[in-house]
Amino acid sequence: MAAAQTGRVIAYEANRIGDYDGLRIRTAAGEISLQFPPHTAEAVRQLGAVGQTVAVQAESLGKLPGNSPSPRLRLISLQNKQTGRQLRLADLPPPSPETGKSIAIEEPLAGTWRDAEGRLVALRTTSYLIALKPHQSEPIRAVLAGVKHIRVVGYERTARGFVNRTGLRLVHPTALTINKQTFAF
């Protein structure tokens, strides 16, 4: 069942890898969080920037984990109240399951990306965010101390619509070389 709400956009939320996939709005009744598919982030963020008033259609996905009294809501449509522009998320189908653009890079390691529980989920270079799956991050974590450069072979995500909060291009690695040790995935 879809419900309509109007409120001011107060923040955007991101998934474990940093792709925007949710927004929070403040309504007359309080704050609500709405989830949307990451491939729709570019269009959603263009239509409803932080601080703007939006009308949303959403459906309940059940309760949030833990003791939160707030329901989980899935965004169905969004309308900017100032401009009148509207967006139905169903009009933005998910990208086809493509592998992306094949790349091989060697760049300085600029840092790591960890999730809310402190688990390693990505490596940052000066130009890329190297996404790691849980089974990939465990062996890599042990060899990162003092590393200055990494070599990455993989696929750069080329599908449109995704926005990563790091501003970096996302790579799914097939091999990483760290301190002359190669990890194949």
> Are residues 37 and 86 located together in one domain of the fold?
yes
pLDDT, tens digit, 9 for 90 and up, residues 53-64: 999 999 988 765
Give the pLDDT band (50/70/90) at residue 135. Answer: confident
What 3 state SS string does 119-136 have?
CEEEEEECCEEEECCHHH
Compute the mean pLDDT over every residue in the chain, rounded to the nearest whole number.
92
- Please indicate, yes or no, if residue 176 is contained in any of the structural domains: yes
% of the chain surpassing 70 pLDDT: 94
Residue with tokens 């529980």: 117
Rounded Cα–Cα distance for residues 42 and 45 (Å)? 5
% of the chain surpassing 90 pLDDT: 81
Rounded Cα–Cα distance for residues 149 and 135 (Å)? 22
Domain of 76 in residue numbering reads as 2-91
- Please indicate, yes or no, if residue 146 is contained in any of the structural domains: yes
Decide which of 178 and 97 is more confident: 178
> Are residues 78 and 124 located together in one domain of the fold?
no
> Are residues 83 and 109 located together in one domain of the fold?
no
- Please indicate, yes or no, if residue 153 is contained in any of the structural domains: yes
pLDDT of residue 141: 87
pLDDT of residue 109: 97
pLDDT of residue 65: 58
Overall domain count for the chain = 2
Checking if the pLDDT of 72 tops 90, the result is no
Final residue belonging to a domain, choices 91, 124, 141:
91
30: left (phi over 0), alpha (psi -120 to 50) or beta: left
Give the number of C-alpha atoms closer than 13 A to the C-alpha of residue 70, restricted to the C-beta side. 13
If we measure between CA atoms, which residue out of 168, 89, 97 comes closest to residue 128?
Answer: 168
> Are residues 74 and 9 located together in one domain of the fold?
yes
Checking if the pLDDT of 69 tops 60, the result is no
Helices (H), 1-58: 41-47
> Are residues 84 and 107 located together in one domain of the fold?
no
> Are residues 83 and 107 located together in one domain of the fold?
no
- Please indicate, yes or no, if residue 96 is contained in any of the structural domains: no
pLDDT of residue 56: 97
> Are residues 72 and 143 located together in one domain of the fold?
no
Q: What is the mean pLDDT of residues 64-84?
A: 82
pLDDT of residue 97: 80
| Model pTM score | 0.89
